[in-house]
Amino acid sequence: MPTPPGRKPRKAAPARQPLTQELIVRTAVRVLDAEGLEAVTMRRVAQELGTGPASLYAHVSGKEELRELMLDHVAAEIALPAEPDPSRWQEQLKELAAEIRRVYTSHGDIAKVSMGLIPTGPNLLAVADAQLGLMRAGGVPPKIAGLAVDTLGMFLDADAIEDTIYMARTPAGVDRWEHFQTHFEEVRAYFAALPPDRFPNVTAMVDELTGGTGDDRFRFGLDILVRGIASYVQDPPTS
């Protein structure tokens, strides 16, 4: 109908995107990145999409499924090794672990979802399959590889969660590394002031206990795990 005289023509409402599971998950991840995991609720995501929470349940059963779908969506960003190399499978396993850590820590506290979760999504399964493939290429016994993929996952989840805790404690506008250094200087001073007769080892190793960066500690922990896994290899591959 034409606009009656004396009235302003109405602006056409923007076309709304059809509601899909993919759109819901991408929106939830956007909320996660901006506000953290606890902010991701069905109501909050529905608000972002300009709809009611009830409309989301046609595509997602609830908050728990939404979180699992978010984790699998994020896992698609993890770059997997093209081909296992038996001669350097340990290095490849460490590189993949570092890549998982990079992706997880770039999405707030998404690693909390991974804790206690058995991966069933296609992207998470692809990551687990790549880890298993690297260990099998290196001659790790199947039973050990099956246990190790779970242990590696727990280590990576815990490290990523700890990283987000440190980030959350950094005041706005303050350099994260400077804040971290200041905190450790305070801890170092506290350890040094402890009574040596009561804590002889702590006071004697103040520098060792408080030195190194988060990356140093991550690489050390990862090295211990991979060396332990490698110790089970009885017949290393020759090619």
What is the tens place of the pLDDT at every residue in 166-189?
A: 777 777 777 766 767 777 789 999
Between helices 122-137 and 89-105, what is the axis angle to 10°? 160
pLDDT, one tens digit for every residue, the chain (239 residues): 566 666 666 665 455 678 999 999 999 999 999 999 999 999 999 999 999 999 999 999 999 999 999 999 999 999 999 899 999 999 999 999 999 999 999 999 999 999 989 989 999 999 999 999 999 999 999 999 999 999 999 999 999 998 888 777 777 777 766 767 777 789 999 999 999 999 999 999 999 998 888 899 999 999 999 999 999 998 776 65
CA-to-CA distance for 46 and 52, rounded, in angstroms?
5
Structure tokens at 146: 């099956």
What is the tens place of the pLDDT at every residue in 62-72?
A: 999 999 999 99
pTM of the model: 0.86
Residue 13 is predicted with a pLDDT of 47
- Is residue 225 within 8 Å of residue 155, measured between CB atoms? yes
Residue 183 is predicted with a pLDDT of 76
- DSSP letters for 83-102: S--GGGHHHHHHHHHHHHHH
Residue 11 is predicted with a pLDDT of 60
Residue 84 is predicted with a pLDDT of 95
- Taking the CB of residue 29, how many other CB atoms lie within 10 A of it? 20
> What domains lie within the chain, and their CATH numbers?
21-75 (1.10.10.60), 86-230 (1.10.357.10)
Shortest CA distance to 26 belongs to which of 89, 65, 56, 69?
A: 69
Produce one character per residue of 63-98: b if its CB has 16 or more CB atoms within 10 Å, e if not: eeebbbbbbbbbbeebeebeebeeeebbebbbebbe
- Is residue 133 within 8 Å of residue 82, measured between CB atoms? no
